Structure 1
Protein backbone atom coordinates (compact mmCIF):
# COMPACT_ATOMS: atom_id res chain seq x y z
CA UNK A 1 0.00 0.00 0.00
CA UNK A 2 2.95 2.37 0.55
CA UNK A 3 3.78 2.27 -3.15
CA UNK A 4 0.22 3.17 -4.10
CA UNK A 5 0.06 6.06 -1.64
CA UNK A 6 3.34 7.46 -2.95
CA UNK A 7 1.73 7.85 -6.37
CA UNK A 8 -0.69 10.36 -4.87
CA UNK A 9 1.93 12.53 -3.15
CA UNK A 10 4.04 13.43 -6.17
CA UNK A 11 1.23 15.12 -8.15
CA UNK A 12 0.10 16.79 -4.93
CA UNK A 13 3.42 18.61 -4.68
CA UNK A 14 3.08 19.58 -8.32
CA UNK A 15 -0.37 20.96 -7.56
CA UNK A 16 0.96 23.12 -4.77
CA UNK A 17 3.94 24.50 -6.66
CA UNK A 18 2.68 24.62 -10.23
CA UNK A 19 -1.10 24.63 -10.28
CA UNK A 20 -1.30 28.09 -8.79
CA UNK A 21 -2.40 28.03 -5.16
CA UNK A 22 1.03 28.64 -3.66
CA UNK A 23 1.89 31.11 -6.41
CA UNK A 24 -0.97 33.47 -5.61
CA UNK A 25 0.02 36.72 -3.86
CA UNK A 26 -1.80 35.90 -0.63
CA UNK A 27 -0.23 38.84 1.15
CA UNK A 28 -3.21 40.91 0.04
CA UNK A 29 -5.73 38.67 1.79
CA UNK A 30 -7.94 39.98 4.57
CA UNK A 31 -7.26 39.19 8.24
CA UNK A 32 -9.77 36.32 8.25
CA UNK A 33 -8.37 33.18 6.60
CA UNK A 34 -9.75 31.91 3.32
CA UNK A 35 -11.68 28.72 4.12
CA UNK A 36 -11.30 25.92 1.57
CA UNK A 37 -13.77 23.08 2.03
CA UNK A 38 -12.29 20.04 0.30
CA UNK A 39 -14.86 17.28 -0.18
CA UNK A 40 -14.17 13.78 -1.47
CA UNK A 41 -15.81 10.36 -1.44
CA UNK A 42 -13.08 7.92 -0.39
CA UNK A 43 -11.36 6.98 2.87
CA UNK A 44 -8.47 8.85 4.46
CA UNK A 45 -6.06 5.94 3.91
CA UNK A 46 -6.49 5.95 0.11
CA UNK A 47 -4.18 7.88 -2.25
CA UNK A 48 -6.75 10.67 -2.65
CA UNK A 49 -7.46 10.76 1.07
CA UNK A 50 -3.76 11.02 1.89
CA UNK A 51 -3.23 13.66 -0.79
CA UNK A 52 -6.05 15.81 0.61
CA UNK A 53 -4.57 15.57 4.11
CA UNK A 54 -1.13 16.48 2.79
CA UNK A 55 -2.60 19.39 0.84
CA UNK A 56 -4.15 20.75 4.04
CA UNK A 57 -0.86 20.36 5.90
CA UNK A 58 1.26 22.09 3.26
CA UNK A 59 -1.22 24.85 2.44
CA UNK A 60 -1.64 25.85 6.08
CA UNK A 61 2.11 25.58 6.70
CA UNK A 62 3.05 27.75 3.73
CA UNK A 63 0.22 30.25 4.31
CA UNK A 64 -0.15 30.40 8.11
CA UNK A 65 -3.26 32.25 9.19
CA UNK A 66 -4.23 33.00 5.59
CA UNK A 67 -5.76 29.69 4.50
CA UNK A 68 -7.80 27.14 6.42
CA UNK A 69 -8.41 23.82 4.65
CA UNK A 70 -11.27 21.64 5.90
CA UNK A 71 -11.17 18.09 4.51
CA UNK A 72 -14.37 16.02 4.39
CA UNK A 73 -13.70 12.39 3.33
CA UNK A 74 -16.02 9.43 2.75
CA UNK A 75 -18.91 11.44 1.26
CA UNK A 76 -19.44 13.21 4.61
CA UNK A 77 -20.72 16.31 2.82
CA UNK A 78 -21.63 15.15 -0.68
CA UNK A 79 -21.62 11.87 -2.57
CA UNK A 80 -20.01 11.53 -5.97
CA UNK A 81 -23.32 12.29 -7.64
CA UNK A 82 -23.67 15.66 -5.88
CA UNK A 83 -20.18 17.04 -5.30
CA UNK A 84 -19.83 18.68 -8.73
CA UNK A 85 -23.10 20.55 -8.25
CA UNK A 86 -22.02 21.54 -4.75
CA UNK A 87 -18.79 22.99 -6.14
CA UNK A 88 -20.62 25.04 -8.76
CA UNK A 89 -23.04 26.31 -6.11
CA UNK A 90 -20.17 27.35 -3.85
CA UNK A 91 -20.96 24.89 -1.07
CA UNK A 92 -17.40 23.53 -1.33
CA UNK A 93 -14.29 25.09 -2.85
CA UNK A 94 -12.31 22.05 -4.00
CA UNK A 95 -13.08 18.48 -4.99
CA UNK A 96 -11.10 15.76 -6.74
CA UNK A 97 -13.52 13.56 -8.69
CA UNK A 98 -12.52 10.57 -10.73
CA UNK A 99 -11.84 11.54 -14.32
CA UNK A 100 -14.87 9.46 -15.32
CA UNK A 101 -17.14 12.00 -13.61
CA UNK A 102 -16.51 14.87 -16.03
CA UNK A 103 -18.34 13.57 -19.10
CA UNK A 104 -21.27 15.95 -18.47
CA UNK A 105 -18.91 18.90 -18.74
CA UNK A 106 -16.51 17.84 -21.49
CA UNK A 107 -16.10 14.79 -23.68
CA UNK A 108 -12.35 15.32 -23.93
CA UNK A 109 -11.58 13.81 -20.53
CA UNK A 110 -13.34 10.59 -21.55
CA UNK A 111 -10.11 9.43 -23.18
CA UNK A 112 -8.97 8.30 -19.72
CA UNK A 113 -11.78 5.71 -19.73
CA UNK A 114 -10.52 3.98 -22.86
CA UNK A 115 -9.29 0.43 -22.16
CA UNK A 116 -5.58 -0.39 -22.25
CA UNK A 117 -4.68 3.12 -23.37
CA UNK A 118 -1.84 3.32 -20.83
CA UNK A 119 0.63 0.54 -20.10
CA UNK A 120 1.35 1.75 -16.57
CA UNK A 121 1.18 4.78 -14.29
CA UNK A 122 4.43 6.14 -15.72
CA UNK A 123 2.69 6.39 -19.10
CA UNK A 124 -0.21 8.18 -17.41
CA UNK A 125 2.28 10.59 -15.86
CA UNK A 126 3.87 11.39 -19.19
CA UNK A 127 0.57 12.19 -20.85
CA UNK A 128 -0.75 14.29 -17.99
CA UNK A 129 2.46 16.33 -17.96
CA UNK A 130 2.31 16.90 -21.73
CA UNK A 131 0.80 19.97 -23.37
CA UNK A 132 -2.32 18.00 -24.31
CA UNK A 133 -2.73 16.66 -20.80
CA UNK A 134 -2.33 20.10 -19.24
CA UNK A 135 -4.81 21.60 -21.71
CA UNK A 136 -7.49 19.27 -20.35
CA UNK A 137 -7.25 21.01 -16.98
CA UNK A 138 -8.70 24.13 -18.60
CA UNK A 139 -11.18 22.40 -20.87
CA UNK A 140 -14.18 23.10 -18.60
CA UNK A 141 -13.74 26.76 -17.68
CA UNK A 142 -16.72 27.61 -19.88
CA UNK A 143 -18.77 25.38 -17.56
CA UNK A 144 -17.43 27.00 -14.40
CA UNK A 145 -14.81 24.37 -13.52
CA UNK A 146 -11.06 24.95 -13.38
CA UNK A 147 -8.68 22.00 -13.09
CA UNK A 148 -5.65 22.57 -10.86
CA UNK A 149 -3.84 19.24 -10.98
CA UNK A 150 -4.07 15.51 -11.54
CA UNK A 151 -3.80 13.06 -8.66
CA UNK A 152 -3.11 9.37 -9.13
CA UNK A 153 -4.98 6.39 -7.76
CA UNK A 154 -3.85 3.49 -9.92
CA UNK A 155 -4.69 0.87 -12.51
CA UNK A 156 -8.07 -0.86 -12.44
CA UNK A 157 -8.71 -4.50 -11.56
CA UNK A 158 -11.87 -6.61 -11.89
CA UNK A 159 -13.57 -8.43 -9.04
CA UNK A 160 -16.60 -10.72 -8.89
CA UNK A 161 -18.48 -13.02 -6.55
CA UNK A 162 -17.97 -15.86 -9.02
CA UNK A 163 -15.25 -18.51 -8.76
CA UNK A 164 -13.56 -17.75 -12.06
CA UNK A 165 -12.45 -14.60 -13.82
CA UNK A 166 -9.75 -15.63 -16.27
CA UNK A 167 -11.08 -14.90 -19.75
CA UNK A 168 -13.19 -12.10 -21.27
CA UNK A 169 -16.13 -14.48 -21.69
CA UNK A 170 -16.20 -15.02 -17.91
CA UNK A 171 -17.90 -11.63 -17.44
CA UNK A 172 -20.70 -12.39 -19.88
CA UNK A 173 -24.11 -11.94 -18.28
CA UNK A 174 -22.69 -10.59 -15.02
CA UNK A 175 -23.79 -7.29 -13.48
CA UNK A 176 -20.85 -4.95 -12.92
CA UNK A 177 -20.91 -1.68 -11.06
CA UNK A 178 -19.28 1.10 -13.08
CA UNK A 179 -18.80 4.82 -12.70
CA UNK A 180 -21.13 7.20 -14.51
CA UNK A 181 -19.32 6.99 -17.84
CA UNK A 182 -20.86 6.11 -21.19
CA UNK A 183 -17.43 4.94 -22.38
CA UNK A 184 -17.20 2.43 -19.53
CA UNK A 185 -20.77 1.31 -20.16
CA UNK A 186 -19.97 0.60 -23.81
CA UNK A 187 -16.91 -1.44 -22.82
CA UNK A 188 -18.81 -3.78 -20.52
CA UNK A 189 -21.69 -4.17 -22.96
CA UNK A 190 -19.18 -5.13 -25.66
CA UNK A 191 -18.07 -7.98 -23.38
CA UNK A 192 -21.65 -9.13 -22.87
CA UNK A 193 -21.81 -7.88 -19.28
CA UNK A 194 -24.59 -5.79 -17.74
CA UNK A 195 -23.07 -2.52 -16.46
CA UNK A 196 -24.78 -0.69 -13.61
CA UNK A 197 -23.90 2.97 -12.94
CA UNK A 198 -23.77 3.48 -9.19
CA UNK A 199 -22.36 5.88 -6.59
CA UNK A 200 -19.14 4.77 -4.93
CA UNK A 201 -20.68 4.84 -1.45
CA UNK A 202 -23.31 2.29 -2.51
CA UNK A 203 -20.94 -0.32 -3.95
CA UNK A 204 -20.22 -2.44 -0.86
CA UNK A 205 -23.87 -3.00 -0.03
CA UNK A 206 -24.69 -3.68 -3.68
CA UNK A 207 -21.99 -6.36 -3.79
CA UNK A 208 -23.06 -7.78 -0.44
CA UNK A 209 -26.73 -8.09 -1.39
CA UNK A 210 -26.16 -9.30 -4.95
CA UNK A 211 -27.52 -6.20 -6.66
CA UNK A 212 -24.34 -6.43 -8.71
CA UNK A 213 -21.98 -9.36 -9.22
CA UNK A 214 -18.75 -7.44 -9.51
CA UNK A 215 -16.98 -4.15 -9.97
CA UNK A 216 -13.80 -2.55 -11.34
CA UNK A 217 -11.47 -0.58 -9.10
CA UNK A 218 -7.94 0.07 -7.96
CA UNK A 219 -6.21 -2.00 -5.30
CA UNK A 220 -6.40 0.88 -2.82
CA UNK A 221 -10.17 1.24 -3.19
CA UNK A 222 -10.72 -2.51 -3.03
CA UNK A 223 -8.69 -2.62 0.19
CA UNK A 224 -10.02 0.52 1.91
CA UNK A 225 -13.66 -0.29 1.15
CA UNK A 226 -13.18 -3.98 2.03
CA UNK A 227 -14.69 -5.18 -1.23
CA UNK A 228 -12.66 -8.37 -0.79
CA UNK A 229 -15.09 -9.35 1.99
CA UNK A 230 -17.94 -9.71 -0.48
CA UNK A 231 -16.06 -10.84 -3.60
CA UNK A 232 -14.58 -14.27 -4.30
CA UNK A 233 -12.26 -13.42 -7.17
CA UNK A 234 -10.04 -10.48 -8.10
CA UNK A 235 -8.34 -10.46 -11.50
CA UNK A 236 -5.29 -8.22 -11.90
CA UNK A 237 -6.14 -6.90 -15.34
CA UNK A 238 -4.71 -3.35 -15.31
CA UNK A 239 -7.26 -2.67 -18.03
CA UNK A 240 -7.76 1.00 -17.26
CA UNK A 241 -6.86 3.82 -14.93
CA UNK A 242 -8.61 5.66 -12.11
CA UNK A 243 -7.14 9.10 -11.60
CA UNK A 244 -8.52 12.32 -10.23
CA UNK A 245 -8.61 15.95 -11.28
CA UNK A 246 -8.45 18.50 -8.50
CA UNK A 247 -10.97 21.13 -9.55
CA UNK A 248 -12.26 24.37 -8.13
CA UNK A 249 -15.03 26.80 -8.95
CA UNK A 250 -13.52 29.05 -11.62
CA UNK A 251 -15.46 32.10 -10.43
CA UNK A 252 -14.36 31.58 -6.82
CA UNK A 253 -10.75 31.15 -7.92
CA UNK A 254 -10.81 34.30 -10.02
CA UNK A 255 -12.33 36.18 -7.08
CA UNK A 256 -9.39 35.54 -4.76
CA UNK A 257 -7.52 38.77 -3.92
CA UNK A 258 -4.70 39.54 -6.33
Structure 2
Protein backbone atom coordinates (compact mmCIF):
# COMPACT_ATOMS: atom_id res chain seq x y z
CA UNK A 1 0.00 0.00 0.00
CA UNK A 2 1.42 3.38 -1.02
CA UNK A 3 0.64 6.01 1.61
CA UNK A 4 0.42 9.75 1.08
CA UNK A 5 -0.83 12.31 3.54
CA UNK A 6 -1.17 15.79 4.94
CA UNK A 7 0.51 17.35 7.96
CA UNK A 8 -0.76 20.46 9.70
CA UNK A 9 -2.71 21.45 12.80
CA UNK A 10 -5.61 21.35 13.19
CA UNK A 11 -6.84 19.35 10.20
CA UNK A 12 -10.60 19.38 10.68
CA UNK A 13 -11.24 20.74 7.17
CA UNK A 14 -8.91 18.83 4.86
CA UNK A 15 -9.51 19.33 1.15
CA UNK A 16 -6.60 17.03 0.25
CA UNK A 17 -7.88 13.80 1.82
CA UNK A 18 -11.23 14.05 0.06
CA UNK A 19 -9.58 15.02 -3.22
CA UNK A 20 -7.06 12.17 -3.31
CA UNK A 21 -9.45 9.51 -1.96
CA UNK A 22 -11.89 10.43 -4.74
CA UNK A 23 -9.08 10.55 -7.32
CA UNK A 24 -7.87 7.05 -6.40
CA UNK A 25 -11.41 5.68 -6.71
CA UNK A 26 -12.36 7.55 -9.90
CA UNK A 27 -9.11 6.79 -11.72
CA UNK A 28 -8.93 3.19 -10.43
CA UNK A 29 -5.56 3.76 -8.76
CA UNK A 30 -5.33 0.66 -6.56
CA UNK A 31 -3.03 0.20 -3.56
CA UNK A 32 -2.90 3.90 -2.67
CA UNK A 33 -4.24 5.71 0.38
CA UNK A 34 -4.20 9.31 1.64
CA UNK A 35 -4.30 10.05 5.36
CA UNK A 36 -4.32 13.15 7.57
CA UNK A 37 -1.60 13.51 10.20
CA UNK A 38 -2.45 16.32 12.62
CA UNK A 39 0.72 17.00 14.64
CA UNK A 40 0.42 19.60 17.45
CA UNK A 41 4.04 20.77 16.92
CA UNK A 42 6.53 20.40 14.05
CA UNK A 43 8.91 18.74 16.51
CA UNK A 44 6.65 15.68 16.13
CA UNK A 45 7.60 15.37 12.45
CA UNK A 46 10.56 12.94 12.87
CA UNK A 47 8.43 10.66 15.08
CA UNK A 48 5.69 10.65 12.41
CA UNK A 49 8.21 9.59 9.76
CA UNK A 50 9.57 6.87 12.03
CA UNK A 51 6.03 5.61 12.62
CA UNK A 52 5.21 5.61 8.89
CA UNK A 53 8.40 4.56 7.07
CA UNK A 54 6.32 3.70 3.98
CA UNK A 55 5.30 7.33 3.25
CA UNK A 56 5.65 8.22 -0.43
CA UNK A 57 4.64 11.87 -0.23
CA UNK A 58 3.19 14.51 2.04
CA UNK A 59 1.33 17.75 1.64
CA UNK A 60 1.98 20.46 4.21
CA UNK A 61 -0.54 23.03 5.41
CA UNK A 62 -0.64 25.74 8.06
CA UNK A 63 1.16 26.28 10.33
CA UNK A 64 4.07 24.16 9.05
CA UNK A 65 4.81 25.37 5.50
CA UNK A 66 7.86 27.28 6.75
CA UNK A 67 8.59 25.34 9.96
CA UNK A 68 9.11 22.03 8.12
CA UNK A 69 12.04 23.29 6.02
CA UNK A 70 14.86 22.51 8.54
CA UNK A 71 13.69 18.86 8.55
CA UNK A 72 14.16 18.43 4.78
CA UNK A 73 17.23 17.40 2.78
CA UNK A 74 16.59 19.47 -0.36
CA UNK A 75 14.32 22.20 -1.72
CA UNK A 76 13.11 22.99 -5.23
CA UNK A 77 14.10 26.42 -6.58
CA UNK A 78 10.58 27.78 -6.02
CA UNK A 79 10.38 26.44 -2.44
CA UNK A 80 13.82 27.87 -1.63
CA UNK A 81 12.93 31.28 -3.07
CA UNK A 82 9.54 31.41 -1.37
CA UNK A 83 10.70 29.97 1.92
CA UNK A 84 7.59 27.78 2.14
CA UNK A 85 6.90 24.12 1.34
CA UNK A 86 3.52 22.48 0.78
CA UNK A 87 4.65 19.24 -0.85
CA UNK A 88 7.33 16.74 0.22
CA UNK A 89 8.63 13.91 -1.96
CA UNK A 90 10.37 10.91 -0.38
CA UNK A 91 12.81 9.42 -2.87
CA UNK A 92 16.11 7.54 -2.57
CA UNK A 93 16.16 8.16 1.18
CA UNK A 94 15.85 11.94 0.73
CA UNK A 95 13.09 14.35 1.65
CA UNK A 96 12.70 17.11 -0.94
CA UNK A 97 10.37 20.09 -0.46
CA UNK A 98 8.36 21.72 -3.26
CA UNK A 99 5.85 24.54 -3.50
CA UNK A 100 2.88 23.64 -5.70
CA UNK A 101 0.84 26.65 -4.51
CA UNK A 102 2.78 28.64 -7.12
CA UNK A 103 1.71 26.28 -9.92
CA UNK A 104 -1.89 26.13 -8.73
CA UNK A 105 -2.22 29.88 -8.31
CA UNK A 106 -0.56 30.81 -11.60
CA UNK A 107 -2.48 28.29 -13.71
CA UNK A 108 -5.76 29.34 -12.10
CA UNK A 109 -5.15 33.08 -12.44
CA UNK A 110 -3.67 33.37 -15.94
CA UNK A 111 -6.88 32.69 -17.93
CA UNK A 112 -8.67 35.49 -16.03
CA UNK A 113 -6.15 38.25 -16.67
CA UNK A 114 -7.14 41.19 -18.87
CA UNK A 115 -4.76 43.72 -20.42
CA UNK A 116 -5.54 46.28 -17.72
CA UNK A 117 -4.58 43.91 -14.87
CA UNK A 118 -1.07 45.34 -14.76
CA UNK A 119 -0.52 45.77 -11.01
CA UNK A 120 -1.47 43.58 -8.06
CA UNK A 121 -2.28 44.24 -4.42
CA UNK A 122 -1.41 41.26 -2.22
CA UNK A 123 -3.27 41.08 1.10
CA UNK A 124 -1.31 39.21 3.78
CA UNK A 125 2.31 38.25 4.40
CA UNK A 126 2.28 34.52 5.27
CA UNK A 127 3.54 31.48 3.36
CA UNK A 128 0.66 31.63 0.87
CA UNK A 129 1.44 35.30 0.18
CA UNK A 130 5.04 34.39 -0.59
CA UNK A 131 3.89 31.82 -3.16
CA UNK A 132 1.57 34.39 -4.74
CA UNK A 133 4.38 36.98 -4.92
CA UNK A 134 6.70 34.44 -6.56
CA UNK A 135 4.04 33.63 -9.18
CA UNK A 136 3.42 37.36 -9.84
CA UNK A 137 7.17 37.83 -10.36
CA UNK A 138 7.15 34.95 -12.86
CA UNK A 139 4.27 36.67 -14.69
CA UNK A 140 6.03 40.07 -14.58
CA UNK A 141 3.17 41.66 -12.64
CA UNK A 142 4.44 44.28 -10.15
CA UNK A 143 2.75 44.15 -6.76
CA UNK A 144 2.24 45.96 -3.47
CA UNK A 145 1.76 44.10 -0.18
CA UNK A 146 -0.73 45.21 2.45
CA UNK A 147 -1.62 43.83 5.88
CA UNK A 148 -3.07 44.91 9.20
CA UNK A 149 0.34 45.92 10.48
CA UNK A 150 2.82 47.74 8.18
CA UNK A 151 6.56 47.10 8.01
CA UNK A 152 9.24 45.50 5.81
CA UNK A 153 7.86 46.82 2.52
CA UNK A 154 4.28 46.22 3.65
CA UNK A 155 1.68 48.98 3.85
CA UNK A 156 -1.23 49.02 6.31
CA UNK A 157 -4.77 48.41 5.05
CA UNK A 158 -5.64 51.79 6.54
CA UNK A 159 -3.20 53.60 4.23
CA UNK A 160 -4.79 52.26 1.02
CA UNK A 161 -6.37 55.23 -0.77
CA UNK A 162 -8.35 55.68 -3.98
CA UNK A 163 -5.25 56.16 -6.14
CA UNK A 164 -3.64 52.94 -4.90
CA UNK A 165 -6.86 50.94 -5.25
CA UNK A 166 -7.52 52.20 -8.77
CA UNK A 167 -3.94 51.50 -9.90
CA UNK A 168 -3.94 47.93 -8.52
CA UNK A 169 -6.72 46.25 -10.48
CA UNK A 170 -5.76 42.74 -9.33
CA UNK A 171 -6.36 42.17 -5.60
CA UNK A 172 -5.41 38.85 -4.00
CA UNK A 173 -6.43 37.81 -0.49
CA UNK A 174 -3.87 35.35 0.92
CA UNK A 175 -5.13 35.65 4.52
CA UNK A 176 -7.56 33.19 6.16
CA UNK A 177 -9.99 36.06 6.85
CA UNK A 178 -13.50 35.01 5.86
CA UNK A 179 -12.78 31.28 5.97
CA UNK A 180 -15.48 29.08 7.49
CA UNK A 181 -16.60 29.33 10.28
CA UNK A 182 -15.53 33.02 10.49
CA UNK A 183 -17.54 33.99 7.42
CA UNK A 184 -18.24 37.55 8.63
CA UNK A 185 -14.57 38.59 8.44
CA UNK A 186 -12.69 40.18 5.54
CA UNK A 187 -9.55 42.27 5.01
CA UNK A 188 -10.29 45.89 5.95
CA UNK A 189 -9.56 47.57 2.64
CA UNK A 190 -11.56 50.46 1.06
CA UNK A 191 -13.97 48.39 -1.06
CA UNK A 192 -15.75 51.55 -2.22
CA UNK A 193 -12.84 52.18 -4.64
CA UNK A 194 -13.20 48.81 -6.38
CA UNK A 195 -14.61 48.99 -9.92
CA UNK A 196 -15.61 46.70 -12.80
CA UNK A 197 -11.97 46.84 -13.93
CA UNK A 198 -10.90 44.93 -10.83
CA UNK A 199 -10.32 41.21 -10.43
CA UNK A 200 -10.54 39.93 -6.84
CA UNK A 201 -8.95 36.55 -6.14
CA UNK A 202 -9.36 34.83 -2.76
CA UNK A 203 -7.21 31.84 -1.81
CA UNK A 204 -10.01 30.81 0.58
CA UNK A 205 -12.46 28.32 -0.98
CA UNK A 206 -14.84 27.66 1.94
CA UNK A 207 -17.26 29.40 1.70
CA UNK A 208 -17.27 29.59 -2.10
CA UNK A 209 -17.98 33.32 -1.93
CA UNK A 210 -16.25 35.01 1.00
CA UNK A 211 -17.25 38.44 2.28
CA UNK A 212 -14.15 39.79 0.46
CA UNK A 213 -15.48 38.43 -2.85
CA UNK A 214 -19.06 39.50 -2.11
CA UNK A 215 -17.93 43.08 -1.50
CA UNK A 216 -15.93 43.04 -4.75
CA UNK A 217 -18.82 41.60 -6.77
CA UNK A 218 -21.13 44.27 -5.35
CA UNK A 219 -18.80 46.86 -6.93
CA UNK A 220 -18.90 45.08 -10.32
CA UNK A 221 -15.52 43.33 -10.02
CA UNK A 222 -14.72 39.90 -11.44
CA UNK A 223 -14.15 37.36 -8.64
CA UNK A 224 -12.49 33.98 -8.21
CA UNK A 225 -12.07 31.73 -5.16
CA UNK A 226 -9.25 29.30 -4.35
CA UNK A 227 -11.00 26.02 -5.20
CA UNK A 228 -9.45 25.55 -8.64
CA UNK A 229 -6.03 26.55 -7.28
CA UNK A 230 -6.34 23.77 -4.69
CA UNK A 231 -7.19 21.19 -7.35
CA UNK A 232 -4.30 22.31 -9.55
CA UNK A 233 -1.78 22.32 -6.69
CA UNK A 234 -2.97 18.85 -5.60
CA UNK A 235 -2.51 17.51 -9.15
CA UNK A 236 0.95 19.14 -9.24
CA UNK A 237 1.80 17.30 -5.99
CA UNK A 238 0.70 14.01 -7.57
CA UNK A 239 2.94 14.68 -10.59
CA UNK A 240 5.91 15.42 -8.30
CA UNK A 241 5.39 12.24 -6.24
CA UNK A 242 5.18 10.11 -9.37
CA UNK A 243 8.02 11.59 -11.40
Q: Return the TM-score normalized by structure 1.
A: 0.36
Q: Identify the structure with the greater helix proportion.
A: 1
Q: Return the TM-score normalized by structure 2.
A: 0.38
